[in-house]
Structure 1
Amino acid sequence: MKDINIAIIGVGTVGKSVVKILQTNKDILKARCGVNLVPRIGISRDIDDKELKSLGIPLSTNIDDAFSDPSIEVIVELIGGVELPYEIALRALKSGKAFVTANKAMLAYHRYDLEKQCKNSAIGFEASVCGGIPIIKILKDGLGANHILSLSGIMNGTSNYILTKMSKSGLNFKVALKEAQDLGYAEADPTLDISGGDTAHKLLILASIAYGINAKLEDILVEGIEEISQIDILFAKEFGYVIKLLGIAKKEIHSDEVELRVHPCLISQDKLLAKVDKAMNAISVVGDMVGETVYYGAGAGGAPTASSVVSDILEIARSKTSPMLGYMSSHENTLKLKPIESISSKYYIRLNVTDKPGVLSDIALVFAKYKVSIRTLLQKETWEQDKTHKKDLDTTCIESKPKHATLLLSTHICAELDIQKALNEIEKLICVVCKPYMIRLLD
């Protein structure tokens, strides 16, 4: 029986799990693809690591060793970063070797560059989005008969863990973040996770497969969870919502525009996505033929991510080749990215104001000027009565005083451009003492 030799560049948490799966499940893998999948060499900066040495495979610190062995047919890249992994991918594809990666950041910037290079070599990247959830294959194959009307999902376990702890345990943002770091869900520098950047990388990859659109990170709306406070959680609960960080892609069936955005969102507590807690991921996909389907699972971690890596190796071993981003021809190349200002939504808004007569009237006049209609309104007595919230306020906010009140409101559907103009004008009102905070609302 034929052997397919594999080089794994980056034998960290995921890389070690890849080797273990190839070794532990070798019999079932052999039965499914008809060949032996052999981890031939591991490339790591720390080849003296005890766990790594216990895997029993040759080790090296030199990436060149993954390419100098002509028997190696598959290069697996798990080192992270953008440019070096891209160079490794090009080198693998140009040398006729298959390439597998879990690197969403690199793909967010270079997915179309790689697609041009992989005409004669296979490439797999299932593990780049949502760890163990096979959403890439679902979009490319399982839902291939559908026009994708929308996809929305919780694609970052760190932010979802933080929001769960804020909602379920009453923690403020900083405490929840520290707990996530202590448990290993968040990095020492969690910026990419909490800012929405990680989710945006994944959304761009999915949008390429769902719509064939080559959108750039700098062209889409990306907002994080850093400014969410307990008072926002309170409003959500009061009106039957849950706050989640979502990646959203939408396209009307007869439109030539695709809407891409990443931001915190108030979603009805009855929705399936609202019930996804802690570090788990979930994605809802709506197809024109199948309707809504929802996919749930571990979005990170060594074994779940490695499971997706090995699934790509398995597909390559079966000699199944398909276009990298799912299109044999540029069927939907007429699609364009919808401008951010053209997005429409319902909105939740937090306003910190002086507690005196006429304030609501001043604010209502501004909203009316920009055709923003108020849907619900809730007023907190004073900031001083909410000690846990006080530290969560915008750092530009002046020190709270007993005569300051917090207004929490939601709107009916309006245009992004109109709500932004309204909030910019409201911020300048004398009665408004902090920069307004806004979260989009999804029923």
Structure 2
Amino acid sequence: MMRTRPLKVALLGCGVVGSEVARIMTTHADDLTARIGAPVELAGVAVRRPSKAREGIDPALITTDAMALVKRGDIDVVVEVIGGIEPARALITTAFEHGASVVSANKALLAKDGAALHAAAQEHGRDLYYEAAVAGAIPLVRPLRESLAGDKVNRILGIVNGTTNFILDKMDTTGAGYSEALDEATALGYAEADPTADVEGFDAAAKAAILAGIAFHTRVRLDDVHREGLTEVTAADIASAKRMGCTVKLLAICERAADGKSVTARVHPAMIPLSHPLASVREAYNAVFVEADAAGQLMFYGPGAGGSPTASAVLGDLVAVCRNTLGGATGPGESAYTRLPVSPMGDVITRYHISLDVADKPGVLAQVATVFAEQGVSIDTVRQQGRQDGGGEASLVVVTHRAPDAALSGTVEALRKLDTVRGVASIMRVEGE
């Protein structure tokens, strides 16, 4: 039977995503009512600038007092799309205390304090859903939390930031340098005026922490994620990847150790073979590749940001939470029973592409090879080329077999001490093989 009393929703934030959430709630009201089993009513919208025109939203719903809104007591669901740590954290915990469930798109807060938020939701018997926090419209959090709940996920390899993928794609397809590609991304609206969170990997690292925690049933915080950005990636790196039959992507990688006793989470640029499904992900799209025991290899692909895609994920969560509210139940909460430690980056085992500037004279290759052997890093291929401008220097590219990251770091440190090595031009991991 259809319940006639509406479920009341408080919307915190009415920017690009929030305004789209409000629009869909209004234009699809009948469909949402049919899917949920009760009407859904927008009961209030908390904003910072109340004087700004907001088409389709009743001005009477606008307030600058977000805390008063979540404390009303008649709110069933709070949708938080303001981002950041505070006041979002205080508003979410207050919402739980006053009887509301929460739908959030706040990756930074969830990566930092997800455990505490889940505990607060459980204490008050409320839901915390956050599909929109990772990869926009792509259904990913719920499949990991629910569809794969009976399986064992071993690895997640993902492109989870559209800005960086756009930049690297332009560098790959046009031969542009990093600065040129960033300028184009900014002009098209893919990059913020301050792109630091994207290009330095902070955004992807927060998403990696969330994904690792869900996939491996353990607590992974943002501080546990090794992070490297793409600002040092050069056109020469892209060209070298092409010669190997690879392309360069900024990847979020979450792995369970072979012995099952620990996990790792990391974000960094990497070369991946053109045969890998992630290699064909272009422009500002996101994609996540999941490897599980029973399900095998799964690929999730789609737009990872933007008002409409993110709002789609928010509304999906809203429908689920409203259904739970009507049924007097809650959905899945935090699953951290494995309590697996997060290993340091030095324990990660992978392949490496190292580009060296060396003296162009006999015996250099032997010296370099000796350093690799002394550090226990096996060499797969070597390519040496003299500089066309002369000057007595050459470029030496070494691709290794799989080795611990700590061993590679020791190798690079030792190489820098050689008189014949003028500099270490770049180091890049090789993944997805």
Is the alpha carbon distance of 1:383 and 1:77 closer, same or farther for their aligned partners in structure 2, counting shifts above 3 Å? Answer: farther
In structure 2, the residue matched to 1:168 is 173
Aligned letter for 2:115? Y
**Partner Cα separation in structure 1 for residue 180 and residue 407 of structure 2:** 35
2:407 pairs with 409, 418, 435, which one?
418
User: In the alignment, is the contact (CA less than 8 A) between 1:423 and 1:436 conserved in 2?
Assistant: no
Q: Deviations over 1:196-224 (max 9, x none)?
A: 11111011111111112222333332111
- Partners of 1:226 and 1:382 in 2: how far apart? 25
Q: Residues 353 and 82 of structure 1: is their aligned pair in 2 closer, same or farther, counting only changes over 3 Å?
A: same
Secondary structure at the aligned position of 1:218 is classed as helix
Cα drift, residue 338 of structure 1: 2.1
Aligned residue in 2 for 1:94: 97
Please point out which of 365, 368, 375 is paired with 1:360. 365
CA distance, structure 1, for counterparts of residue 91 and residue 156 of structure 2: 31
Deviation at 1:383, TM superposition (A): 7.5
**SS across alignment from 2:283:** coil
With 179-188 and 212-221 compared, the bigger mean Cα shift is at 212-221
Q: Secondary structure at the match of 2:422?
A: coil
Q: Is the CA contact 2:71–2:94 (under 8 Å) kept in the aligned structure 1?
A: no
1:429 positional shift: 1.7
Give the corresponding residue for 1:72: 75
1:323 aligned partner, one-letter code: P
Q: Shift of residue 252 of structure 1?
A: 4.4
**In structure 1, C-alpha distance between the alignment counterparts of 2:173 and 2:264, rounded to whole Å:** 31
Counterparts of residues 42-81 of structure 1 (less than 5 Å)? 42-50=45-53, 52-56=54-58, 58-81=61-84
Distance 2:365 2:86 in 1: 52
Residue 380 of structure 1 and its aligned partner are, at CA, apart by 4.3
Which of 413, 428, 432 aligns to 2:421? It is 432
In the aligned structure 1, how far is the partner of 2:95 from the partner of 2:208?
25
Moved more, 252-261 or 157-166: 252-261
Distance 1:322 1:248, change over 3 A: same
- TM-score, reference length from structure 1: 0.91
Q: Which amino acid aligns with 2:398?
A: L
Deviation at 1:234, TM superposition (A): 0.9
One-letter amino acid matched to 1:259 = T
**Deviation sequence 1:231-274 (CA, Å, 0-9, x none):** 11111111111111111111146421112111111111011111
1:56 is displaced (CA, Å) by: 3.0
- Counterpart position of 2:270: 265
* Aligned mates of 1:380, 1:309 — CA distance in 2: 53
Residue 99 of structure 2 aligns to a residue whose secondary structure is: coil
Which of 392, 395, 411 does residue 403 from structure 1 map onto?
Answer: 392
Q: CA RMSD in A?
A: 1.7
Cα distance change of structure 1 residues 416 and 19 upon mapping to structure 2, 3 Å threshold: same
Q: Distance in 2 between matches of 1:44 and 1:351?
A: 53
Please state whether the residue corresponding to 2:11 is helix, strand or coil.
strand
* Structure 1: stretches of 5+ with no match in the other structure: 385-400
Corresponding residue for 1:30? 33
Q: Which runs of 4+ in 1 moved over 4 A?
A: none
Q: 1:36 to 1:348 in 2, by over 3 A?
A: same
Question: Do residues 209 (structure 1) and 214 (structure 2) align?
Answer: yes
Q: Residues of 2 paired with 1:182 and 1:194: CA distance?
A: 16
Amino acid at match of 2:409: Q
Could you tell me which amino acid in structure 2 is paired with residue 55 of structure 1? I
Which of 151-160 and 33-42 deviates more?
Answer: 33-42
CA contact (8 A) 1:371 1:418 kept: yes
TM-score (norm 2): 0.93
2:284 — aligned with what?
A: 279
Q: What per-residue deviation string (whole Å, max 9, x for no partner) do you get for residues 81-123 of structure 1? A: 1132111111111111111110100111100001111111111
Count how many residue pairs are aligned between Structure 1 and Structure 2.
422
Matched letter for residue 101 of structure 2: A
